[in-house]
Amino acid sequence: MTTTHPVIAAWSAVSPLGMGRAAFTEGLRAGRTAAAPVDPGWDAPVEEACLVPGFDVKAVLGRKGTRSMDRVTGLAVTAVGQLLDGARGDERTALVLGTSTGSAQSIMDFTRDSLTGARPHLVDPARFPNTVMNCAAGQCAIWHGIQGPNVTLAAGRASGLLALRYALRLQRNDHAEAVLVGAVEEFSHARAWLEHRARTPAGLLGEGCAVLRLERRGDGPAEVLGVETAVYHEPAAVGPTVTGLVARALARAGVTADDVTLLSHSGMDGEADGARAALPGAETVPCAEVIGDTSAASAAFQVAAVLAAAENHPEPAPRTAVVTAVDHDGVAAAAVLRLRRPTT
Amino acid sequence: MTETANRVVITGLGVVSSMGLGVDAFLAGLRAGRNTARPITAFDTTGFDHANGCEITGFAARDWIRTLNPDELGRASQFAVAAARMAIDDASLPVERLRGSRSLVTIGTTDGESRDLDSLVETEVGQGPQAMDPVVARRVPAGRLSAAVAREFGLTDTEAVTIPTACSAGNYAIGYGFDAVRGGEVDFALAGGADALCRKTFTGFYRLGTIAPERCQPFDADRKGILTGEGAGVLLLESERSALARGARIYAVVLGYGLSCDADHPVAPNQSSVARCMRLALDNSGVKPEEVDLISAHGTGTKANDVTEAGAIHQVFGDRPPRTVSLKSMIGHSMGAASALASIGCALAITEGFVPPTINHERTDPEIDLDCVPNTAIDADLTVVQNNGLAFGGNNAVTIFGKYPERAA
């Protein structure tokens, strides 16, 4: 079958289930929560969270070039490195990375040093770049030689799908050939407290980075048929918004609800009902139940979860998947993926 | 879905800047070459030897934000919503029409609501993290800068996405809006940038030794660095067909843009990568270097930026580069808003037929060797204008604007 749809050629995940794609796939299949007690050293208002096990920037990436690297950057550099699998980027390779607000920890630490130091400017200059939200994407470029468009974007929990939409548009308009697209979130004292104060109680927080390689064509586990977005204006509108969004996404992709066998939703109140109203026959793929609320990274992990679930799904093979994501601040998005059976 | 390559035009401009509120105040300031530097009041500057900036005073959020509760928005989001409202009004576009159309809302930023994070840190230091205000904590996520605009105007069939690619973010957003309108995927795009002065960023630049003590002097032999600023610039983009059908005034055409990444150093720009970005933008726009009449430079006023950027300009434009000006000499470095406000400056320069000056200028650095139109605006007929944006992370973004209608060949 010939197609003009872009292809997800490969993916990687640095997740609470472990480092890499295999750990993520196996962990999701096992379905055991990745929640673990939070080390008191974090001084966080949560007892349990889903951290990437044993993730320490210097241990994973070495000491060179990591002296001032923060956690969110380390997670992104690691996940992009796994995706590239030894290859280097080039001028025609783009990176599009979703974030919530970069590293709230790095930003707040920097201000704290200014407020509590002997003089207000006695801060560590090497840590200043960490306080700017595009730090992780910029460091991924440096580490992996990615000289094409380098894009950071933010749309809360929908960031992964908005990043995918940005990537599609970047490629369609020939700003890049291959696009590495994903999203990242870190666990930190600052994030835990901000989430705890914003929405008491904070849910089960997770972290990590999931990244896809989007190619114009070729081999890969899925084709991206489309990404649609909307904004809702009150909590009661989440369900109807998602129903409408999924219907629109399917119509534009030229597939019917009957074709959709897998669904992943982000768990916002009303979202699952709204998605199921449009997709009564789809099987729901769990993600946040296992890895926690990964905030900005959640929709990227949902896409990875769908790909992982399709990989070893019993017959009949799943054909089409829908991923929905809804953020507290109004953004909603839905992606339609055509799943391919692995050829190996 | 059929794709038509629309011509993309600018029909509305919204400005929140240290020049004042609205496009008229901005235009008057650019023409007059007004210096807006003054002592910073946004945070306690005790202990810094000098602390001038280009701050906005007299901004009343309630004048501009009518649907949402302004208290639930951080200052950068407030600026973004205000500038968006100005752009919609300026374009004479009924909000009901916008609501019934497919739209994109995309706001670039450097710091998002870091001003709120500053205040939350103060609370944490003084009273502990459990005392952090929930309303302020909810304002923090950067996605809200764009989502707030969509919510304020009741947009539903829309894509609201913030682009936090630091100091070139406004150009990224305009580029994204350009592609979306050009491909016929949306009818209208509200694209721009917003940032609020904050202690964090002032302190960082101060620590790097890049804050000028008094004024910003891009390209001057005696330049001493940047002044931090704030504000928002939002452009309303639509297809030429749409603008003509509704009888809208057209400021200028967006011809294209380019993005490149240095992949070299976290803060120092790379000359050949900046040059590559300009070439990509020119190619994307179908413009030859000799057709560019004016460059609005990133022009921060630091030694590193100005020499590298000028070198890249010479690399692309040869021995006779176009006039190259820096709006930052007047309004400081408004971070994520900077290239959006500069794009608005480019559109106004084209429409009004003038070149805004580079002020505070005494003697051009011989190493730079550019005509930076010192101190006084000049009249000029401009057909093609280029706007440079450089950023931390090596995130370069260049936009190109053209006169509308073009002169008959």
Are residues B53 and B75 part of one domain? yes
DSSP state string for A180-226: EEEEEE---HHHHHHHHHHSSSP--BB-EEEEEEEESSSS-SEEEEE
Has residue B386 been placed in a domain? Answer: yes
pLDDT in tens, B135-148: 999 999 999 999 99
Are residues B149 and B121 part of one domain? yes
A153 with B157: Cβ contact below 8 A: no
Has residue B161 been placed in a domain? Answer: yes
Spot the catalytic one: B54, B167, B216, B372.
B167
Size of interface A-B (CB pairs under 8 A): 256
Could you say which of 3.40.47.10, 1.10.3720.10, 3.40.190.290, 3.30.365.10 is the CATH number of the domain covering A7-215? 3.40.47.10
Q: How confident is the model at residue B407 (pLDDT cuts 50, 70, 90)?
A: low
pLDDT of residue B4: 61
- Range in A144-148, B1-5, B253-257 the model is least confident about: B1-5
Q: Is B184 exposed, middle or buried (0-12, 13-18, 19+ CB in 10 A)?
A: middle
CB distance A283 to A264 below 8 Å: no
Out of B223, B245, B267, a domain closes at: B245
Are residues B191 and B172 part of one domain? yes
Predicted confidence (pLDDT) at residue B409 exceeds the cutoff of 60:
no
Cα distances (angstroms) measured from residue A197 to each of A45, A327, B8, B68, B136: 10, 17, 43, 21, 9
Has residue B309 been placed in a domain? Answer: yes
Task: Check if B264 contacts A (Cβ < 8 Å).
Answer: yes
pLDDT of residue A3: 55
pLDDT of residue A200: 76
pLDDT in tens, B316-374: 999 999 999 999 999 999 999 999 999 999 999 999 999 999 999 999 999 999 999 99
B392 with A95: Cβ contact below 8 A: no
Q: Does the structure's ipTM exceed the value 0.95?
A: yes
Count of domains forming chain B: 2
Chain B residue closest to A332 (CA)? B159
pLDDT in tens, A85-105: 999 999 999 999 999 999 999
Has residue B397 been placed in a domain? Answer: yes
Interface test with A, best of B162, B228, B339 (most A CBs within 10 A): B162
**Given phi > 0 = left and psi -120 to 50 = alpha, else beta, which region is B281?**
alpha
A331 with B261: Cβ contact below 8 A: no
Out of B245, B270, B293, a domain closes at: B245
Q: How confident is the model at residue A201 (pLDDT cuts 50, 70, 90)?
A: confident
Are residues B260 and B237 part of one domain? no
In CATH, what number is assigned to the domain containing residue B214?
3.40.47.10
Are residues B97 and B28 part of one domain? yes
Chain A residue closest to B162 (CA)? A154
pLDDT in tens, B58-108: 999 999 999 999 999 999 999 999 999 999 999 999 999 999 999 999 999
B204 with A123: Cβ contact below 8 A: yes
The alpha helices in B100-239, defined as continuous H runs, are 114-127, 134-138, 144-152, 169-182, 199-207
pLDDT of residue B302: 97
Full residue range of the structural domain in which residue B237 is found: 7-245
A198 with B138: Cβ contact below 8 A: yes
Interface test with B, best of A146, A159, A331 (most B CBs within 10 A): A331
B142 with A154: Cβ contact below 8 A: yes
Chain A residue closest to B128 (CA)? A193
pLDDT in tens, A27-85: 999 998 999 999 999 999 999 999 999 999 999 999 999 999 999 999 999 999 999 99
Predicted confidence (pLDDT) at residue B205 exceeds the cutoff of 90:
yes
Interface test with B, best of A90, A100, A101, A166 (most B CBs within 10 A): A101
Coil, helix or strand at residue A275? helix
Task: Check if B113 contacts A (Cβ < 8 Å).
Answer: yes
Min distance B239 CA to chain A CA atoms (Å) = 17
Question: Looking at beta carbons, which residues of chain A come within 8 Å of B182?
Answer: 173
Are residues B46 and B70 part of one domain? yes
Answer whether 0.80 is exceeded by the pTM.
yes
Are residues B345 and B283 part of one domain? yes
B117 with A108: Cβ contact below 8 A: yes
Share above pLDDT 70 across residues of chain A, in percent, rounded to a whole number? 98
Residues 6+ positions from B85 with CB-CB distance below 8 Å: B14, B64, B65, B152, B153
Are residues B266 and B194 part of one domain? no
Has residue B251 been placed in a domain? Answer: no
Are residues B200 and B55 part of one domain? yes
| Dist. CA B134–CA B229, nearest whole Å | 27
Length of chain A (residues): 344
Give start-end residues of each CATH 3.40.47.10 domain in chain A. 7-215, 222-339
B298 is catalytic: yes
B261 with A149: Cβ contact below 8 A: yes
Coil, helix or strand at residue A254? coil
What CATH code would you report for A222-339? 3.40.47.10
Tell me which residue in A125, A147, A329 faces B261 most closely, judged by beta carbons.
A147
Are residues B330 and B236 part of one domain? no
Task: Check if B309 contacts A (Cβ < 8 Å).
Answer: no
Are residues B277 and B148 part of one domain? no
Predicted confidence (pLDDT) at residue B226 exceeds the cutoff of 50:
yes
Of A209, A287, A300, A296, the closest CA to residue A20 belongs to A209
Min distance B45 CA to chain A CA atoms (Å) = 8
Section A165-180 average pLDDT: 98
Task: Name residue B53's beta-bridge partners.
Answer: B38, B228
Task: Name residue B226's beta-bridge partners.
Answer: B211
Predicted confidence (pLDDT) at residue A245 exceeds the cutoff of 50:
yes
Side-chain half-sphere CA neighbours of B263 within 13 A: 26
B154 with A134: Cβ contact below 8 A: no
